[in-house]
Structure 1
Amino acid sequence: MCAHLGGNFSKLWAASAVSNLGDGVTMAAGPLLVASITTAPAAVAGAAFAQQLPWLLFALVSGAFVDRLDRRRLIVAVNLCRGLALAVLAFAVVLSAVSVPVVYVVFFLLGTGETLVDTAAGALLPAIVPASGLARANARLYATFTIGNQFVAKPLGAWLFGVSAAAPFGFDAVTFLLAALLVARIRVAPAPAPARSSLREEVAEGLRWLWRHRLLRTLAMSMGIGNVAFGAAFAVFVLYCRARLGLSAVGFGFLLTAFAVGGLVGTALVERLTRLVGASVLLRVGLFVEAATHAVLGFTTSGLVASAVLVGFGAHAMVWGITVVSLRQRVVPAHLLGRVGGVYSLLDLGGAALGTLLGGLLASMWGLAAPLRCAAAVMLVVALLAWRPLRGAATREAVAGSGVPGRP
């Protein structure tokens, strides 16, 4: 299926599939483990926050290290460390020595490793896949994540925890070991060592380059604001489903599955849609799709309408994400891929975290539909402001794909 993308990509793809399966298992089992230690809601939520916090703290610095170091070796070393951390957690569970602080420390280490590995993998891909195959390669990676992490891993993690509380974490440790071995077999010419300066100067260089590139700056700002809107819209989604749509817990789970199904559809269609209408149209129309999604959800009281909208939104999210990351990998110079990717990651997760706080505040003041309606208005403004700057996306992509370096 991916033979024409090369054997190196096959190894990276397999490593991504294995590690994402393990990540999903731990994401499902982690809250169950904390809940078995304490019933305090804040303590249970803290486990997820401990794994997200490193993105806010280290995304920019991790991007600089990705550009400093050999990316393949970095992925191998960090995956081995993450596997070791999970093995320690599994043994602590077996020995009945686990506590909430231990879980927090391990999850913080996992999140820190994730900032390095995810950024390094995105920067490594253009070195092992031709420019013409980047969209196809990213679609494979996104689809694998959706299937493994969202469909398979969550029930598997809960089942493994039921068998033994230590089993999911031991399983994830093994997946990191396998992923490290697969990436270690990738053969890629080492990149020339960049001139060293201070970390602050290197981070600033990446920020300056991104700010001067009008297209990527527009995409970054649109994504950052879009994730604030998304985080606000879905901060109280479970309460919205119950009180406004009248759905049970099963119905809520169905809506989440509808989003994932849409994501699979998006990964299957992204190449065809790009050939048919071009990247520029996909990016510009996608912002209006996002605004329309929030608006419909903000005014409907039908679970069927909501599920249909979420299938479409899931497809849009994958198409937009794959288009943006493929474009970025083509345009950004190789020695800056880590730092620019780090900025995008900071805007992605930082925006979502800020939006979550805003969403809870809006819902408490004006009702459960208020965050969705506000998100719709914000995204409509973003779509209108970004319409003209995104018009040249297809041209820039073609220039980058021809091997001409992207310039601010």
Structure 2
Amino acid sequence: MPTPGHRSAFWWLWTSSGLSNAADGVLKTALPLVALRYTDSPVIIAGIPLALSLPWLLASLPAGALADRWDRRRTMLVANLVRAGALVALVAAPLTGTGSLVLLYGVAVVIGTAEVFHDTSAQSILPRVVGRADLDRANGRLYAVEVTANQFVGPPLGGFLVAAGVAVATGAPALLWVLAVLALLGVRGTFRAGRSDADASAPRTTLRAEVGEGLRFLWRRPVLRTLALMVGVSNLAESAMMAVFVLWAVGPDSPLGLSEPGYGALMTSVAVGAVLGSLAATWIAGRLGRTLSLALCILVAAASHAVPALTTSVLVVAAVWALAGAGIAVWNVVTVSLRQRLTPDHLLGRLNSAYRLLAWGTMPVGALLGGLVADRVGLVQVFVVATVLDLVLLACLPVLRERHLRAAEAEVGDRPDGGPDDADDDGGPEPLPRAAEGVVSATP
């Protein structure tokens, strides 16, 4: 980091991110397991991840515009407090005898909505904390702690906490989000987005107009648009599989026959690969080139979806998922730094939200699809469909050739504002978006 002040702010942000992602990891493992106590219906259980992800489809665009209006750090603080408060209500429900699937769904929607605001702002704040020259290193460190907390610490902890009781499993992430708020208070300064030079003297436009500006920025840039659509298809496949995978994995009569803690432990195999991959991502991309690296990410995603249909060996599934975790890291480290570096600060929130509308908006559809296919046809068919969808994405790679990425970097480097001009160019190759939402998603 360039200065001691930047270093201090970054490490507080890093700590907050780790705590927040640990809470996410516990919760996203615990909620489907809590739902199993009420029902064994694939459709109803698939509704939990659907409820968590539906706000990305409904609220991402206004959240992005507001992130460019509001102080991004304060938005993150409020969002974490809302998530903690929702879980306090869930903790109190079993103690008062009011626990139900309806309450579980309601809490999932609230938490998902707060996540939209938190993550949109979190993606936009980093260039102001460390400066654009240090984004590769900062993103690598952030991604390592996010993966470790979200997938290595959170899932097994969630499994063990559910075994201890619903109140414990839901109370722990609430505490972690409160601690994340305290850590984020250490990031000093104002993080309200500056307006572009052209807009600095103009009156504030409507929220609708600002949302439209972000959508145009995304849609008029072929590389950026293609990646968002690719990630949307991949996340549809991912959500379909993971919405019902708990039925394949947990219980003495399931094919894998895992206990609840064992299920959480299996989920950590992704994190093992992802942590190692995050350390090697820059080297891999340098050796293979970015296009080939992204192609390998697609292939390991397909393999991670196919392997449960081919074997019931927990060790084989864990090994392939670890490889997929390495693919997650390579995809994220390569693309997140590009997106942040090539996007002007005043558009970061809207770009993030417009991108995620395409990339994450398919997740609730995928969760619903997974539940319906599993209910009508079978669990194995869900894995087959997810694999085929991943392989189709290889057809998009010609748009992501290295020369297109270099042209985008050269174009931005020639502009005085340090980022692409938003409005009316007709769209040569443009920056890669962040893929923490990526073609290989956080949980295979």
What band does the TM-score fall into relative to the shorter chain?
Answer: 0.7 to 0.9
| Counterpart in the other structure of 1:364 | 377
Q: For 2:95 and 2:340, how far apart are their aligned partners in 1?
A: 43
Aligned with residue 336 of structure 1, among 347, 358, 364: 347
| Per-residue Cα deviation, 1:160-185 (whole angstroms, up to 9, x for no partner) | 34444322332222222221122122
Cα displacement (A) at 1:134: 1.5
| Counterpart in the other structure of 2:279 | 268
Cα displacement (A) at 1:273: 2.5
- Specify whether residues 400 and 308 from structure 1 end up closer, same or farther in structure 2 by C-alpha distance, changes over 3 A only: farther
| Counterpart in the other structure of 2:438 | none
Q: For 1:174 and 1:238, how far apart are their aligned partners in 2?
A: 26
Q: For 1:25 and 1:295, how far apart are their aligned partners in 2?
A: 22
Q: For 2:233 and 2:40, how far apart are their aligned partners in 1?
A: 35
| Counterpart in the other structure of 1:208 | 216
| Per-residue Cα deviation, 1:161-214 (whole angstroms, up to 9, x for no partner) | 444432233222222222112212212344466553222211111010112223
1:29-48 equivalence runs, <5 A = 29-37=30-38, 42-48=43-49
TM-score by length of 2: 0.77
Aligned with residue 408 of structure 2, among 392, 396, 400: 396
Q: For 2:394 and 2:323, how far apart are their aligned partners in 1?
A: 17
| Per-residue Cα deviation, 1:328-384 (whole angstroms, up to 9, x for no partner) | 11111111111111122222322344445556649939973642553354123223x
Q: Secondary structure at the match of 1:196?
A: coil
Q: Secondary structure at the match of 1:406?
A: coil
1:6-405 equivalence runs, <5 A = 6-37=7-38, 42-191=43-192, 194=195, 195-231=203-239, 248-250=256-258, 253=263, 256-283=267-294, 286-287=297-298, 290=301, 293=303, 297=307, 303=313, 308-356=319-367, 361=373, 364=377, 368=381, 370-371=384-385, 374-375=388-389, 377-383=391-397, 385-388=398-401, 390-394=402-406, 396-397=408-409, 404-405=418-419
Cα displacement (A) at 1:8: 1.0
Q: Secondary structure at the match of 1:97?
A: coil
Q: For 1:174 and 1:367, how far apart are their aligned partners in 2?
A: 38
| Per-residue Cα deviation, 1:14-70 (whole angstroms, up to 9, x for no partner) | 111111112222233333444445565544443332222211211112111111111
Cα displacement (A) at 1:127: 0.7
Aligned-pair identity (%):
36
Q: For 2:409 and 2:141, how far apart are their aligned partners in 1?
A: 20
Gaps of 5+ in 2: 196-202, 422-426, 428-444
- Specify whether residues 282 and 162 from structure 1 end up closer, same or farther in structure 2 by C-alpha distance, changes over 3 A only: closer
- Specify whether residues 235 and 108 from structure 1 end up closer, same or farther in structure 2 by C-alpha distance, changes over 3 A only: closer
| Per-residue Cα deviation, 1:88-135 (whole angstroms, up to 9, x for no partner) | 222233233333322222221111000000110000111102223222
| Per-residue Cα deviation, 1:224-271 (whole angstroms, up to 9, x for no partner) | 2333454567676678889xxx96234995764443322222211112
RMSD: 3.6
More deviation, 281-290/55-64:
281-290
- Specify whether residues 115 and 71 from structure 1 end up closer, same or farther in structure 2 by C-alpha distance, changes over 3 A only: same
Cα displacement (A) at 1:74: 0.9
Identify, as 1 or 2, the structure richer in helix.
1
The number of aligned residues is: 402
- Could you tell me whether the CA contact under 8 Å between 1:143 and 1:267 is conserved in 2? yes
- Specify whether residues 216 and 44 from structure 1 end up closer, same or farther in structure 2 by C-alpha distance, changes over 3 A only: closer
- Specify whether residues 399 and 86 from structure 1 end up closer, same or farther in structure 2 by C-alpha distance, changes over 3 A only: same
Q: For 2:46 and 2:368, how far apart are their aligned partners in 1?
A: 14
Q: For 1:155 and 1:255, how far apart are their aligned partners in 2?
A: 8
- Could you tell me whether the CA contact under 8 Å between 1:263 and 1:316 is conserved in 2? yes
Q: For 1:49 and 1:20, how far apart are their aligned partners in 2?
A: 19
What is the letter of the counterpart of residue 315 of structure 1? A
- Specify whether residues 218 and 391 from structure 1 end up closer, same or farther in structure 2 by C-alpha distance, changes over 3 A only: farther
More deviation, 188-197/365-374:
365-374
Q: For 1:80 and 1:90, how far apart are their aligned partners in 2?
A: 15
- Could you tell me whether the CA contact under 8 Å between 1:229 and 1:379 is conserved in 2? no
- Specify whether residues 281 and 397 from structure 1 end up closer, same or farther in structure 2 by C-alpha distance, changes over 3 A only: farther
- Specify whether residues 248 and 296 from structure 1 end up closer, same or farther in structure 2 by C-alpha distance, changes over 3 A only: closer
- Specify whether residues 98 and 284 from structure 1 end up closer, same or farther in structure 2 by C-alpha distance, changes over 3 A only: closer
- Specify whether residues 78 and 307 from structure 1 end up closer, same or farther in structure 2 by C-alpha distance, changes over 3 A only: closer
Gaps of 5+ in 1: none
- Could you tell me whether the CA contact under 8 Å between 2:194 and 2:345 is conserved in 1? no
Cα displacement (A) at 1:278: 4.5
What is the letter of the counterpart of residue 271 of structure 2? A
Q: Secondary structure at the match of 1:268?
A: helix
Q: Secondary structure at the match of 2:166?
A: coil
| Per-residue Cα deviation, 1:371-407 (whole angstroms, up to 9, x for no partner) | 2553354123223x4244x533245347758973234
| Counterpart in the other structure of 2:437 | none
| Per-residue Cα deviation, 1:147-172 (whole angstroms, up to 9, x for no partner) | 22222222323333444432233222
TM-score by length of 1: 0.83
| Per-residue Cα deviation, 1:280-319 (whole angstroms, up to 9, x for no partner) | 543355446656x379759965957665543333211221
Cα displacement (A) at 1:83: 1.8
Q: For 2:25 and 2:79, how far apart are their aligned partners in 1?
A: 18
- Could you tell me whether the CA contact under 8 Å between 1:255 and 1:307 is conserved in 2? yes
Q: For 1:20 and 1:324, how far apart are their aligned partners in 2?
A: 20
- Could you tell me whether the CA contact under 8 Å between 1:219 and 1:324 is conserved in 2? no
What is the letter of the counterpart of residue 170 of structure 1? G
More deviation, 221-230/8-17:
221-230
